[in-house]
Amino acid sequence: MTKKILLGALALSSLSFASEISTTAGESAVFAKKTAENNKPLLYLAENFHEMAILPGFTMGAPSGLVSGYGVAFAGIAGRRDSDTTDGAMAFGMGFGNPDTIGGSVTLGIGSVDPRDGGSFNRGNLNLTVGHHFKEYGLGWSAGMTGLDLWHAKSIDGDYQDPSFYTSLTKLWANDFVPFSVTAGFGNNSFADINRSKDRKDKIDGFGAISFYLIPQLSVVVDYTSNILTTGISVVPFPDYPISVNLGATNLNEQGPNDKVAAIGSIAAAYVF
């Protein structure tokens, strides 16, 4: 019987600015199991959405088309460092509904976990996603909102606190060679081209990601969101524990006001109750 653990991978944001690292929490929904014949882990599409083992994530900024459901809680912490600045955030979330009909999750993002950058926990936002899992096709669709402002420090420009809206599709191709997934969608505001001016809430642009599962515990991800190119790896160090570690580099194409390549990293875990 497959272990009933869903990994809530904190997808480290490569969006408009570091203060929004906390807005992209999602669920990794590529599955693994041990076959009865040779005990070898293989990727497969779960017949029941909640009967799954943990695997690495498949985006690093683009929202996933696969959503969670009731009985899943997850949390993570993430950080970003370039030559000038350091920032970090944490997120806590819980699923609702049933993704075989309509499921989703609600996430609280808390920004600035390091008091050395001018204030700890000085911003908070709410994120919501809903969607449907077409398990017979290995396909998930979602729509959501990220970055609904709950609080922010007086020193943070309130003009940048508008929420972002998106819709996304994720398709899984399970095979015995190199399983992979493709995510694509579009959204406004933080998902729009980072080089746009303050009217990004009125602009809509596409995003996408592709991930390759070299082994069941390691994926390589390439992500393009808000005209920012990000790449990295996602690792599940211990297959029997719901913990994921993501490491990578973002803004490889040096876009936006902070046009510097940055190192990114996150750790996340989840629990099914």
Beta strands in the chain (DSSP E): 31-34, 41-44, 72-81, 86-98, 102-111, 123-134, 139-152, 164-173, 180-188, 204-215, 218-225, 228-235, 243-250, 262-272
pTM (2 decimals)?
Answer: 0.82
The residue type found at 42 is L
Residues 91 and 10 sit within 8 Å (Cβ to Cβ): yes
Token pair recorded at residue 120: 């700890």
CB atoms near residue 231 (< 10 Å): 16
Nearest to 203 by CA among 212, 211, 213, 193: 193
Q: Does domain 18-272 have CATH number 1.20.120.520?
A: no
Percentage of residues of the chain with pLDDT beyond 70 = 73
**Rounded to the nearest 5°, which phi and psi values hold at 96?**
-150, 160
Q: What is the pLDDT of residue 175?
A: 74
What confidence tier does 208 reach under pLDDT thresholds 50, 70, 90? Answer: very high
Residue with tokens 């190192």: 263
Q: Sketch the domain layout of the chain as residue ranges.
A: 18-272
Range with the largest mean pLDDT of 148-157, 170-179, 256-265: 256-265
